[in-house]
Amino acid sequence: MHPFDSSKWGRICRFLTKEGHLEKNRVVEPLEASREDLLVVHTEAYLNSLKSSFRVAAIVEVPPLTLIPNWLVQQRLLYPFRKQVGGSILSAKLALERGWAINVGGGFHHCSAEEGGGFCAYADITLCIQFAFVRLDISRVMIIDLDAHQGNGHEKDFAHDGRVYILDMYNAGIYPFDHAAKRYIDQKVELVSGTETDDYLDQLDKALKVAQTRFQPQLIIYNAGTDILDGDPLGNLKISPEGVVIRDEKVFRFAKDQNIPLVMMTSAGGYMKSSARVIADSITNLSQKDLIQLGSQPD
């Protein structure tokens, strides 16, 4: 059974607003991704398969869902997912306008156009990038995927697509073991279980330096999984909360130093109750370091 925390995303925003770090006019609620939106990436057959509670249960790895009527699965699970997909699409537009955007959700990196899995029912990363290509006049995108798991969904979707550069840093000893998808990673950083904070951040520094010399993107998609945290039941890494904050700061500074718009997705990855607190602290740090602006939008 997949140990997901479905309340994580709402608690992040509540932490930030309650503590006075985030003004309400800085929050934009996305529309639900429509079927027409989803068909940009997915087939009719795949979307129709989600009308089966059995199929959805297999994708999100929650067997009891097979016993739930599909209308309720749609309402309580897939509708919130589609809202997050809408957030990923909107974030690309906002990042181009303002330099950055954070989707407090999304990052369903195990889902490809043809197949869901690993708690990921919709390929929002792929859809976000396709939207940028078609609607935002973008032709070069870098994915920086720092979830503890390999991002095999977007890797399969952008196989042999020179417009997309993928930097994926993940624990090679855990799910999904997708060796076919690994062939499509432009820059692969494989970690071992038990990797600790200092080693992790050192490897990230080296990876970002290499990425900067290899590819000049017009947009960065950053999948910021917190399943790298020490104690996470699935990630098997030993990164401290402070290490996550520093990691996110490094990626945002990488983008800002090159004047590249960045979309951050908080990722399906992050399975402890503490994840929301860590993400909120990281976003607060980004604001304090002037890498993002959480106050009133200037006129």
Ordered structural domains, the chain, with CATH: 8-288 (3.40.800.20)
CB atoms within 10 A of CB 198: 11
Task: Give the residue from 198, 193, 194, 176 showing the smallest Cα distance to 185.
Answer: 176
Q: Please list the rounded mean pLDDT of every run of 10 residues in the chain (299 residues).
A: 54 83 80 96 98 97 95 96 96 97 96 96 98 97 98 98 99 97 98 99 99 98 97 96 99 99 86 86 96 70
Alpha-carbon separation of residue 197 from 189, 240, 242 (angstroms):
15, 6, 9
pLDDT score recorded for residue 272 = 74
Q: How far apart are CA 261 and CA 256, in angstroms?
A: 8
Please tell me the distance from the alpha carbon of residue 51 to that of residue 63, in angstroms, as a whole number: 16
Nearest-angstrom CA–CA distance, 229 and 237: 6
Residue 2 confidence (pLDDT) = 38
Q: What is the sign of the dihedral through the CA atoms of 176, 182, 187 and 190?
A: positive
pLDDT at res. 273: 76
| Per-residue pLDDT, 60 | 93
- Structure confidence at residue 281 (pLDDT): 95
**pLDDT, position 21:** 78
Burial of 213 (0-12, 13-18, 19+ CB in 10 A): exposed
Tokens found for residue 259: 């004047």
Q: Helix 241-257 vs helix 197-214: angle between axes, to the nearest 10 degrees?
A: 20
Residue 151, number of CB atoms within 10 A of its CB: 33
- For residue 102, the surrounding DSSP H or E stretch is strand 100-103
Assigned token pair, 232: 């996470």
Tell me which residues are annotated as active site: 110
Strand order in the sheet with 187-191: 100-103, 262-265, 219-223, 141-145, 164-171, 187-191
